[in-house]
Every structure is written in structure tokens, then in C-alpha cells.
């Protein structure tokens, strides 16, 4: 079962559902949250909660163990590997098998609040929650004696529920998944660089 980063009650309150939430509504909200989390994990390329990892052949630097996953939360164990070099006055450097937890904490870390904001707002717009009170058309006028009821024209969720742009989460995106464009520096006037088009070079 997927661990939820935001609660069903958080989403329900924003959509105008009464709390505590009825079981049928809770299931739909949970599905909406899970779908939002799956989309965010795919974008970031990493879990939303710290995970446990085991690495072999880890080297130690003056600043500590050199580990693949960051940020490191806790080193659970570091065991010297039997066939590793002796280091110090021998040849090479010793290596270790390290078991540790690492990763972002999107659930409770104050710095990851933008991730929770994106998840809640995205879940609020899920099609399964289209019947939410906050997403319904509002009556702007009403008549009696069998006359028609007039609704306002706004049928989309209020702007308050609109999710922020996914780019607002990019600071937590793995570097390999970032869209990177090398900076283009204009050539100073009169400077010719051989082999660079547009500078007069050949």
C-alpha cells in the first residue's frame, strides 16, 4: 500500500467535504492522492520519503563516506570488506559495505512544503472528485412556482484549487532529469573564433 504524503482530510477540507470523511469518499480521495504522488515521483525521479540502501565498495573521504544517494539521513552500518586494500601505509584504500537511509522527506520536512502544496492541489482536481462541493456550480439566482434556476457560468474548480506549475518542484528533481541548456555567451565584437559559426571563423 502506498504511503500517503498528505492526508485524505487535508484534501477533503479544501474540497468542502464534511470531515470525518465517509468511506466511499475517502477511497476516491486516496486514489486521487496516489495518482498525484505517482506523477510527482515520475517527475522528480526519486521517492517522496527516505528509503534504505545498501552499497558495496564504498570509499571514505576526509569528509566521510562517499555514498550514491542523497541527502543521507542515517548511516545504519558500515562494515569493512574483507578483500579491500589495507589503506594507510598499505596500497589503495579500504572499502566498506554501507547500509543507510537517504532521500527527501516530503511528508514532514518544512522545506518540502511546496511538494505537499502541489500534491493537495493536484488531487483536488482529480476527475473522481468532480462532485466535490467546492467544484460545483453555484446558484446565482432562483425563482419559485416552477421557474428555472439560474447558475453561474463557472464550472471549473476555483483558482484556489489550481495546482502550481510542476516546475515549482524542480529543486528536488534528480540532476540527471533536469532539462539543462548550456549558457550561450555572445562573442565580443570583432573577435573571430576558428570553427565557431557566426564569428567569422572557418
Q: Give per-residue pLDDT as tens, 44-85.
A: 999 999 999 999 999 888 888 889 998 999 999 999 888 766
Q: Model-level pTM?
A: 0.71
What's the whole-number average pLDDT of the chain?
79
Q: Is the dihedral of CA 59, 62, 65, 71 positive or negative?
A: negative
CA 150/CA 143 separation, integer angstroms: 8
Q: Using one digit for the tens of pLDDT, what is the confidence trace for 123-144?
A: 999 999 999 998 876 655 555 5
Work out whether strand 72-80 and strand 95-102 pair parallel, antiparallel, or are unpaired.
Answer: antiparallel
What is the structure's pLDDT at 136?
79
Per DSSP, the three-state class of 59 is strand
Q: What is the DSSP string of 69-114?
A: SSSEEEEEEEEE-TTS---TTSSS--EEEEEEEES--TTT-GGGHH
For 88-137, the pLDDT digits (tens) are: 544 557 889 999 999 999 999 999 999 999 999 999 999 999 999 988 76
Confidence (pLDDT) at 39: 95
Region 170-175 average pLDDT:
88
Which pLDDT score, from 0 to 100, does residue 21 have?
Answer: 94
Selected residue with higher pLDDT from 194 and 91: 91
Please state the rounded mean pLDDT for residues 4-33. Answer: 96
- Please determine, for residue 192, whether its predicted confidence score (pLDDT) is greater than 50: no
Does the structure show a pLDDT above 90 at 181? no
Neighbours of 91 (CB within 10 A): 7
Q: How many CB atoms lie within 10 A of CB 106?
A: 27
Amino acid at each position: 500500500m502506498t504511503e500517503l504524503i498528505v492526508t485524505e482530510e487535508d484534501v477533503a477540507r479544501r474540497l468542502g467535504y464534511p470531515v470525518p470523511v465517509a468511506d466511499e469518499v475517502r477511497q476516491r480521495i486516496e486514489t486521487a492522492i496516489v495518482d498525484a504522488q505517482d506523477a510527482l515521483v515520475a517527475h522528480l525521479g526519486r521517492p517522496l520519503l527516505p528509503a534504505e540502501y545498501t552499497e558495496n565498495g564504498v570509499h571514505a573521504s576526509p569528509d566521510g563516506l562517499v555514498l550514491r544517494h542523497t541527502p543521507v539521513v542515517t548511516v545504519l552500518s558500515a562494515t569493512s570488506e574483507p578483500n579491500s586494500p589495507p589503506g594507510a601505509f598499505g596500497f589503495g584504500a579500504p572499502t566498506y559495505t554501507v547500509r543507510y537511509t537517504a532521500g527527501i522527506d516530503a511528508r514532514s520536512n518544512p522545506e518540502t512544503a511546496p511538494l505537499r502544496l502541489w500534491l493537495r492541489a493536484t488531487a483536488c482536481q482529480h476527475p473522481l472528485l468532480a462532485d466535490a462541493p467546492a467544484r460545483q456550480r453555484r446558484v446565482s439566482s432562483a425563482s419559485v412556482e416552477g421557474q428555472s434556476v439560474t447558475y453561474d457560468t463557472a464550472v471549473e474548480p476555483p483558482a484556489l484549487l489550481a495546482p502550481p506549475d510542476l516546475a515549482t518542484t524542480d529543486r528536488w528533481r534528480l540532476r540527471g532529469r533536469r532539462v539543462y541548456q548550456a549558457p550561450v555567451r555572445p562573442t565580443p565584437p570583432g573577435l573571430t573564433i576558428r570553427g565557431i559559426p557566426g564569428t567569422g571563423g572557418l
